[in-house]
Structure 1
Amino acid sequence: MPRHDGPRTAPDRKSEAVVFVHGFGSTHDATWGVPGWPELMEDIGYRVVPFGLPGHGDTPVPGGTDDDTLDELLGVARREGAVSAVGFSAGSLLLLRAAVRDPGAFERLVLIGIGDGMWADPSGFSSLADTLTADEPDASTALLRQLAERAGNSLESIAAYARSAAPPPPLPSLQRLDADVLVILGDEDTVGPADALVSALPRATLTSLPRTDHYRAPSSPEAMSAVLDFFAR
């Protein structure tokens, strides 16, 4: 059960906080800072609150369970008065797990780079742990390793997170979410489609990004435009 009881801070709308969670193997700056998301959100009156995945960047290697990470994420949102959050890939899955854990925590969620294919492997991201540090990784893992090292991550540290991360929440459990959800998925993203995911969420819309693969989605102008429209509602 969630351990975040108590009053939520009521922030000034002009500086409302939005939690941003980056993708696996990346960092806040690589996923969100370089494309200019903090400035974009500031322009429409929101303040970006970074949440780093354990083992990524300067965030310590996970020492507890996935529940500890969810508690930390929900605690950050509560302290900052954030009722909205944006995630990419593993960050989107973490937000979904947090929202299932505490269905009233968020009023709006933006989930980028997430699709039905993520539910095909019951092991979730833990299957990446050994391949990340293998002597001869396959092509997709080699690309992920390159992106992770370019972002300044330790392969051993992110592999430790992969081992601790829980799989995606069961689709039926998403029915308990009390949030408006925007799912954004590139039409060339191999984790797609997102039909089952969108159908499982009580209030969800899907934006498809043309000619966009998984890793290009956070920097897509179409994604940014969709998010601006979503927050303008």
Structure 2
Amino acid sequence: MTQFFTHEGFDLAFEDRLPQAGTGEPVLLIHGFASSHIVNWVSPGWVKTLTEAGYRTIALDNRGHGLSSKSYDPAAYTPENMAGDAAALLDHLGIERAHVMGYSMGARIAAFLALEAPERVATLVFGGLGYGMVDGVGDWDPIAEALLAPDPAGITHPRGKSFRAFADQTRSDRRALAACISTSRALLSEAEISRINQPTLVAVGTTDDIAGSAFALAALMPNAESFDIEGRDHMLSVGDRTFKQRVLDFFAANPL
């Protein structure tokens, strides 16, 4: 059941699912750009998988996404601000430390959370974002243009066309997403990444042309490992069975 809490003037939607036993180690899930907790985590089976494995599973809609409040001010969508929302949700639920898993933009937010509030983050899973966290993930300006285009039929940029279709499919507020994309892509330096000490799993599809190398990012961190999601691109990696099993194995090996 969707609940709401308020942080920095945003009403933020989230779900908090308990396992059958009624208690379990908490896992905080942070979705990707133009997605929502339903699209990224519920529909592909992550919430079911984690709760059935005994984890308390918490998933939020980032500001500007899903059922959460929208802003058209790009300054609202820095990774620091969205990491602050995630920390505030843990505060709201009285959770001191959690496993934190993010996909794509959500992985970047998770990294900022780990750097700004390391005591809150027990382990990390970065899905759909590897070395692109450091060197960028290509030219995204055409995506903002595609999101704001009055007629999608006129969009020629392949990635712009893909994300416009995804935004329309998820019935997103495209103006809010265009504001978000301009500021949410802040990069982290190799030195900053090397300060992330938590056990970390970096998982990227072998045909993902957005994320960058999982191995190269993991190599920068003192306690990280990489996982190749075989034959999957950026969109299809999310619900992959081997990815889910690898995450379950990772959490089991690194309990709170």
Under TM normalisation by the shorter chain, which class is it?
0.7 to 0.9
Report the Cα offset of residue 70 of structure 1.
Answer: 2.2
Amino acid at match of 1:94: I
Asked if 1:206 is matched to 2:226, the reply is yes
The 1:131/1:146 distance shift into structure 2, 3 A limit, reads closer
Q: Compute the displacement of 1:149 (Å).
A: 1.4
Separation in structure 1 between the aligned mates of residue 207 and residue 187 of structure 2, nearest angstrom: 21
Structural mapping, 1:40-51, within 5 Å: 40-51=49-60
CA distance in 2, matches of 1:56, 1:164: 15
1:4-47 per-residue CA deviation (whole Å, 9 max, x = no partner) reads xxxxxxxx993222111111111111111111111111111112
CA gap of 1:100–1:23, structure 2 versus 1, over 3 A, is same
Change (3 A) 1:78 1:169: farther
Task: State the AA in 2 paired with 1:76.
Answer: L
CA–CA distance in 1 between the matches of 2:252 and 2:244? Answer: 12
Equivalent pairs counted in the alignment come to 223
Aligned counterparts, 1:22-61, within 5 A: 22-61=31-70
2:32 is the alignment partner of 1:17: no
Deviations 1:82-102 (A, max 9, x none): 421111100001111111122
Q: Is the 8 A contact 1:182 1:205 kept in 2?
A: yes
**What letter matches 1:54 in structure 2?**
R
2:89 to 72, 76, 82: 76
- Per-residue displacement from partner, 1:143-172 (whole Å, max 9, x unpaired)? 111112111212112112112325122121
The aligned counterpart of 2:130 is 115
Native 8 Å contact 1:104 1:177 kept in 2 = no
Work out the CA distance in 2 between the residues paired with 1:123 and 1:104: 32
Q: TM-score, normalised by structure 1?
A: 0.86
Residue 163 (str. 1) matches residue 172 (str. 2): no
Residue number in structure 1 paired with 2:200:
181
Q: What TM-score comes out, normalization by structure 2 length?
A: 0.79
Change (3 A) 1:78 1:170: farther
Mean Cα deviation higher: 106-115 or 175-184: 175-184
- Match of 1:87? 102
User: Relative to structure 1, is the Cα distance of residues 202 and 128 closer, same or farther in structure 2, using a 3 angstrom cutoff?
Assistant: farther
Cα 1:219–1:65 change in 2 (3 A) is closer
Could you tell me whether the CA contact under 8 Å between 2:77 and 2:179 is conserved in 1?
no
Q: Distance in 2 between matches of 1:102 and 1:16?
A: 19
Distance 1:89 1:113 in 2: 5
Moved beyond 4 Å, runs of 4+: 122-127
SS of residue paired to 1:156: helix
| Preserved contact between residue 198 and residue 204 of structure 1 (Cα < 8 Å) | yes
RMSD of the TM alignment (CA)?
2.5
> What is the one-letter code of the residue matched to 1:221?
R
Secondary structure of 1:141's partner? helix
Unaligned 5+ residue runs, structure 2?
Answer: 1-20
Matches within 5 A, 1:125-164: 128-134=143-149, 136-164=155-183
1:185-210 deviation line (CA, Å, top 9, x unaligned): 11101123223311111211111011
Check whether the contact 2:137–2:212 (CA below 8 A) recurs between aligned residues: no
In structure 1, runs of 5+ residues without a counterpart are: 1-11
Aligned-pair distance for 1:124? Answer: 8.5
Amino acid at match of 2:111: L
- Between the two proteins, what is the percent identity of the paired residues? 24
Tell me how far 1:117 sits from its aligned partner: 3.3
